[in-house]
Structure 1
Amino acid sequence: MADYKHIAQNGLWNNNQALVALLGLCPLLAVTNNTVNGIGLGLATMAVLVVSNVLVSLIRDHVSDEIRIPVFIAIIASAVTVIDLLMEAYLNTLHGILGIFIPLIVTNCAILGRAEAYASKNPIDKSLVDAFFMGLGFALVLVVLGALREIIGNGTLFDQMDLMFGESAQAMTLHFSDNYHPVLLAILPPGAFIGLGLLVALKNAIEQRRAQKAQNALGVQVAVNPLKAD
């Protein structure tokens, strides 16, 4: 269980592919002008990660080093194709909005990176958990960034959720003010860069605060019991 907890923390926080590795920034910045787009692309990316990691782990002992990268790319491309066709069939309008960024999941370095760095060296169970939490961490950044930009840029939250969850989800839309004046910058490309920068800065500030607390706690321990610390 300790291993799984470490994998989860690594995917969600310590090595978040969007906030730490800064991978997949093209779709991250391009489609997150509202929440539903972030949810759609985030879930699609997570599904591809899970499928590709499991398949790579399954065949890892049967593929030679010389051809492993092309094989991994073929697996990822196949998974993306299936997800793309499913979204086109069942979420057609959202699929049209996300457009080329669904097929471009193939080029997301985070997916090939996890296949090469982790799934090709670990059993299926750990590869599955790694893919799930890496994908979840990436999806959460998409959703949070999309929500922030939607709130500031439109004064709404969860608008157009019916594109993913059906007509009943229209009631989920929250309007923060009847006389809200939209901040156009938030839903334009510069707003995406500013929003991501703020999220990265927030994560770094939290990490620095944790490190400072740990250092202070260590200093107190040394002061109370210097012989034990030595």
Structure 2
Amino acid sequence: MKVLIPKQHGAWAMLVIPFFLGMIGGGAHVRHIPLFIGWFFLYLAAFPLTMMVKKKKTAFYQKWALIYSVPAVLFLLAAVWTLPALVWLGLSLVPLFLVNLYYAKENNDRALINDIAAIIVFAAGGLAAYWAGDGRLDGWGWFIFIQSILFFVGSAFYVKSMIREKKNKRFQYYSWSYHLILPFLSLAFGAGWAIIGFIPSSLRAWLLYGRKLPVKKIGIFELLNACCFMLAMGVFLLNI
């Protein structure tokens, strides 16, 4: 039986990096194990659920939604059992998932608003990981959450400007404008010297736009860029 894996390869960085930063900021705890496993399977389950909304191969996607949802629920419940307050964070993400379902139903998954809704959900993984480690939620947890959103929204702008919107001059200016203010937004929300993790994002948005790069190469560059962000933020959090 062929395993069903989501096709959005860039989403893996969004899944892992905020969570990893949350662990660094809040400190490692044994509850991170069930929390991450549950988070991982929840991401896997979200894909067949959105495909079911599109009414494509409904029986096939129902099967995989069930296969992934069962371990997701079990492991997340194990994490929530040790820190019940996490359930409030989970409930707060439901409206954002409904946004994703709406755009899936409209067959407009690549809409920027849909991407931003998904990015906020992924960034909340960092919030949850920080909370799970520290046992409480303070300004540093929100710092990780906001910085993750700022970075990955920039990634969404850039990738769209290079692929789906590459002939859209207006979108090009949106991307350039966002990346112009991105380091300053990061700094305004407390990045300090970790602002250097955002510099490669701005440079690649300006310097690579218009170049005929294969989609695979664009993806590799984005992975390297995400690693720069993670490294800068990780070192910064270790030294606060």
Pairwise TM-score range, normalised by the shorter structure = 0.3 to 0.5
Higher relative contact order (Cα pairs below 8 Å, separated by 6+ residues): 1
TM-score (norm 2): 0.36
TM-score (norm 1): 0.37
